[in-house]
Structures are given as C-alpha cells and as structure tokens.
Structure 1
Amino acid sequence: MLGDAQTWIKGPIEKENVLADVTTIMRKGKSIECRNHGYQFIVELWLLLHPSYYICNSLK
C-alpha cells in the first residue's frame, strides 16, 4: 500500500488482513476501473517515480 503523502511502502499485506478490494474509483464525478490499462500505467509510473517525490519536496 502506498498513499500520496506516505514516505514508505507498507507490505506485504497478509490476505487475511485485507478487508476490501477496490475495483472502481470515483474522481471528479467519473468512475475509473482499477483494471483499466491507462490507470494501471499511471499506477506503475507513480511507483517508479515515487522516490523522486521526496527529493523534489526536500528542495522546497
């Protein structure tokens, strides 16, 4: 798991600790399917670039 302002990745998470599985996100009145290829690309890009987020914030 990784939130927007989180400084570390939590995990791995044991299956018995999962309470729900998100399949759709509502953003600005639109629904986004989590299995959508475009959304999956953004997720992978976010995970790849996440370490640079802290470098950029430390320069402020």
Structure 2
Amino acid sequence: MKIINTANGKVLADVISNRRMSIEEALELVGFDLSQCDDEGAYIDDDGEQFWLEDCEEIGED
C-alpha cells in the first residue's frame, strides 16, 4: 500500500504488509511521529514540508 499526500501528490509511505493497516499505522511504521504536530495540526514530511492527515489517502497495490 502507498500513502500519498493528495495536496501535492507526494508518496509519504510505501509499505508491504500481510495485513490491513490504517493510514496512521503505515505512517508510523515508516518513521513519522504522529504524536508531534504543530498548532495547526500539521505534521512534517521527510522533505520538511507540512502535511495533514486529512490530505492523506491510501492507494492499494494489487
């Protein structure tokens, strides 16, 4: 499964798993600390750009 930021099309996570997981679980698995956000509720991606969970979408891979 891939998690993309729909605001800019950037892939935030690319995870291979044998079970279904939530967007939050996938982001935490690849190293995002979702316990830390700014005052606006934004998180920071690997490139230092803000993203919001509501902009994240799962793209399943068959």
TM range (shorter): 0.3 to 0.5
Q: Which has the larger share of helix?
A: 1
Structure with higher Rg: it is 1
TM-score (norm 2): 0.32
Structure possessing the higher relative contact order (Cα contacts under 8 Å, 6 or more residues apart) = 2
Q: State the TM-score, normalizing by the size of structure 1.
A: 0.32
